[in-house]
Structures are given as C-alpha cells and as structure tokens.
Structure 1
Amino acid sequence: MPIEALLIWIIIGAIGGWLAGVLMKGAGFGLIGNIIVGIIGAAIAGWLLPRIGIHIGGGIVGSIINAVIGAVILLFVISLVKRA
C-alpha cells in the first residue's frame, strides 16, 4: 500500500471518528482513538450499508460519511456494552 493511501485512511479515520464523537456527545477517544474508531467504523459501514441497500457515493466525502455512520454505530455498541 502506498504511503499516500495510508495517509488518506488516517485522515478519513480521524475526521470520521471525531465527527462521530461529536455526534455521540463525549464519546471521543482522543486523536489516535478517533482514527482507530473512524477506520473501524468505515469498515463496519462498508460491510453493513450495502447489505441493507444503502449506497453512498464514492470519493472523499462519501468515505467520510461512511466512516461517520460506522463510527456512530460502533460508539453506540460500545456505550451499550459499558452500561451492562
């Protein structure tokens, strides 16, 4: 994987994780945590959304939207697990 692609993954993950933390009111995990949550969230959304019939356009904006949706799902599940 070229270094440029890795940097794009990190940037999209950071933006997606940060936005998800803002939407979930205090569920952010700092810079590194947000990057990880955003990348995992993008993978979750990339797997889940097409299976339920939702297709978001390509490009950077579509990738960020995917990462945010997946990260919100991930943070919601984490908050449910913390409560139990």
Structure 2
Amino acid sequence: MSFIWSLIVGGIIGWLASLIVGRDIPGGIIGNIIAGFVGAWLGTLVLGNWGPHVANFAIIPAIIGSAVLALIVGFIMRAFRKAS
C-alpha cells in the first residue's frame, strides 16, 4: 500500500511542478510520476531533507526539484522542436 501512496504523491508533486512552471510534463500521468520521483531525488540531494514529509517525500525540496526538472525538460523539448 505504501508503494501506491508513493506513486500518488509523486504524481501530485510532478503535477504541481508543471503548474508552477507553466508547462506540461510530457507523458501525462506517468510523466508526472517520474518527474515527481526524479525531482524529489534531485531536490533532496541539492536542498536536503527538510520540511513536511508525506510518503517519504520531503515536500518542499521535492516540488522545487521537480519544477527545475520540468524547466530543463521543457527547454530540451523546445530545442528538439526547433531543430526539426
């Protein structure tokens, strides 16, 4: 059950990051979940493990890390569209 809870929280974190950045994360729900997990890992790595925790995610660093990840993915996707 904790795995399902982690997927839900990861998806919500990815969705919030896409709202903050103003760009959709490619891949829909699966993309949001992946962005939530990777962003949480990056945010915790860079900013530390502080703030409220839900399903083993430090929420504030996870959202910040996911927003940065969404920006980077958006820039890469835009560069590929311009190149083709």
Moved more, 32-41 or 5-14: 5-14
Identity score, percent = 34
Cα RMSD of the aligned pairs, angstroms, is 2.1
**Pick from 48, 61, 65: which aligns with 2:46?**
48
- Residue of structure 2 equivalent to 1:26: 23
Unaligned runs of 5+ in 2: 80-84
Contiguous gaps of at least 5 residues in structure 1: none
> What TM-score, normalized to structure 2?
0.74
CA distance in 1: counterparts of 2:12 and 2:60, whole angstroms: 10
Q: Which structure dedicates a bigger proportion of its chain to strand?
A: 2
| Cα deviations by residue, 1:1-36 (Å, 9 ceiling, x for unpaired) | xxx331232122111000011111132331111001
Between the two proteins, the alignment pairs up a number of residues equal to: 77
TM-score, normalization: structure 1? Answer: 0.74
Contact 1:12–1:39 (8 Å) recurs in 2: no
